[in-house]
């Protein structure tokens, strides 16, 4: 099994180009199932979750060809409606094929999803909403078996709670439903806006009619199209924090700064010097980090996917800080490993009290989920000496060429078998 060796205490200097967004690519790939034609996608990141989704599409009958900078998906002969547990178990986004398969064929059998063990993430919000479009379903031996005997029909749907996955699944499904659907209390993440841009380019008719309300008029024809996926805002945030943790000086390229305004504002309040250009952010580290109370929240709030990384930075703050995790109920699994490196973090319920003025010590560590694993790299980059991070397959699910990108800006990091 592969692991990472990190020799810490080097300031990161230089520039990093941000890859395409994993969290935007996954629903867009699922949405390609609506088409019976060729779709060309550019800027897909080379990460394991994307490989898994492409394998899932192939298992459903899609032809997939990956070139250097674009992926061609041809659904001319795509006819299968069964998504197996073996493919869906490693990532929760597998459930997103349910909406397009029901829209296209009126029936589907899809395994309940897996992914990181950071919370329950129930799919009941997806299923209740789909039932409003005329879907009848049952869960049998870990599979959702769903049918829409008369096809999908547009309806008014109010989500009981803001859910990114359910919003995406329903947008895709309602795109081919007969009539008009109004979705309210929707998630408004940039990745959802990217999905809508893609679907509209394919010939769908989707429009925001207020901040969290979407109107979808069903269509019966989908066009061939080519689309470039947005940048990965979580990857961008991770490298901004990496520069801060190592007191470095990084230029983060290929980004749209307005999309990560919340994260930039938090880093400025912590005392970091940030300069913004059109598609670039420069961050200069500071020895003195201020303390803060941070609450994770749905977009445009502070993202749960950067909670573990910002915690590492708050360990270096001048006083104690508090982090409140409001999205997932089991997302402090990195705390035990950071404490083994000398951090003093106390968790109680959904709050973490983070003691400041900490110097990290090197250690052998165990990654528990995707974002936790990258937080351990950040702490190791700051520690004097050699740290080893095990179970990095979590990391490969969502970060493209992380050690190559870090090496280019001065990190001493290598992958070993």
Distance CA 18, CA 212 (A): 28
Element (H, E) at 240: helix 233-245
Give the active site residue among 116, 186, 204, 315.
Answer: 116
| Residue whose C-alpha is closest to residue 16's, from 190, 231, 227, 191 | 231
| Residue whose C-alpha is closest to residue 47's, from 63, 27, 23 | 23
Whole-Å CA distances, 76 to 29, 198, 271, 314: 15, 19, 54, 52
Q: Phi and psi of 12, rounded to 5°?
A: -80, 130
Q: Which residues contact 293 (CB under 8 A, 6 or more apart)?
A: 321, 322, 323, 324
Distance CA 24, CA 387 (A): 32
Q: Identify whether the C-beta of residue 154 lies closer than 8 Å to the C-beta of residue 177.
A: yes
Please list the residues that pair with 226 across neighbouring strands.
40
Distance CA 330, CA 394 (A): 16
**Side by side, which strands form the sheet with 205-210?**
156-158, 180-184, 213-217, 205-210
- Where does 141-248 show beta strands of DSSP type E? 143-147, 156-158, 180-184, 205-210, 213-217, 225-228
Question: Has 315 been annotated as catalytic?
Answer: no
Helix, coil or strand: residue 399: coil
- DSSP symbol at 317: B
Distance CA 311, CA 126 (A): 32
Query: Within 10 Å of residue 71's Cβ, how many Cβ atoms?
Result: 20
Helix, coil or strand: residue 184: strand
Q: Mind telling me the catalytic residues?
A: 116
């Amino acid at each position: 099994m592969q692991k990472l060796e990190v020799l810490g205490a080097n300031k990161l200097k230089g520039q990093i180009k941000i890859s395409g967004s994993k969290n935007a690519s996954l629903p867009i790939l699922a949405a390609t199932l609506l088409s019976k034609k060729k779709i060309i996608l550019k800027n897909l990141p080379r990460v394991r979750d994307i490989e898994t989704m492409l394998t899932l599409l192939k298992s459903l009958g899609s032809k997939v060809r990956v070139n250097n900078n674009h992926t061609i998906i041809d659904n001319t002969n795509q006819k299968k409606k069964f998504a197996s547990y073996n493919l869906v178990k490693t990532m929760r986004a597998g459930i997103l094929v349910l909406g397009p398969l029901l829209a296209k064929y009126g029936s589907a059998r899809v395994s309940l999803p897996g992914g990181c063990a950071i919370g329950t993430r129930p799919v009941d919000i997806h299923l209740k909403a789909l039932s409003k479009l005329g879907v009848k379903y049952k869960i049998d031996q870990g599979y959702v078996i769903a049918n829409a005997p008369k096809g999908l029909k547009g309806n008014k749907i109010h989500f009981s709670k803001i859910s990114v996955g359910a919003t995406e699944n329903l947008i895709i499904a309602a795109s081919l439903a007969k009539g008009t659907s109004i979705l309210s209390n929707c998630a408004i993440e940039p990745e959802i806006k990217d999905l809508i841009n893609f679907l509209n380019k394919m010939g769908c008719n989707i429009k925001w009619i207020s901040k969290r309300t979407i109107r979808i008029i069903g269509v019966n024809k989908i066009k061939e199209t080519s689309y470039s996926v947005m940048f990965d805002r979580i990857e961008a945030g991770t490298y901004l924090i990496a520069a801060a943790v190592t007191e470095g000086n990084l230029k983060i390229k290929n980004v749209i700064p307005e999309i990560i305004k919340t994260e930039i504002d938090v880093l400025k309040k912590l005392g970091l010097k940030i300069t913004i250009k059109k598609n670039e952010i420069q961050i200069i580290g500071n020895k003195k980090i201020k303390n803060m109370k941070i609450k994770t929240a749905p977009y445009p709030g502070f993202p749960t996917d950067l909670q573990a990384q910002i915690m590492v930075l708050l360990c270096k703050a001048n006083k104690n800080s508090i982090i409140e995790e409001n999205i997932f109920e089991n997302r402090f699994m990195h705390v035990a490993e950071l404490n083994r490196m000398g951090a003093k973090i106390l968790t109680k319920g959904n709050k973490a009290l983070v003691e400041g003025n900490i110097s990290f010590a090197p250690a052998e560590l165990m990654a528990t989920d995707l974002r936790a694993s990258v937080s351990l790299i950040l702490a190791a980059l700051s520690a004097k000496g050699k740290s080893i991070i095990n179970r990095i397959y979590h990391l490969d699910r969502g970060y493209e060429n992380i050690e190559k990108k870090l090496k280019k800006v001065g990190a001493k990091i290598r992958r070993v078998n």
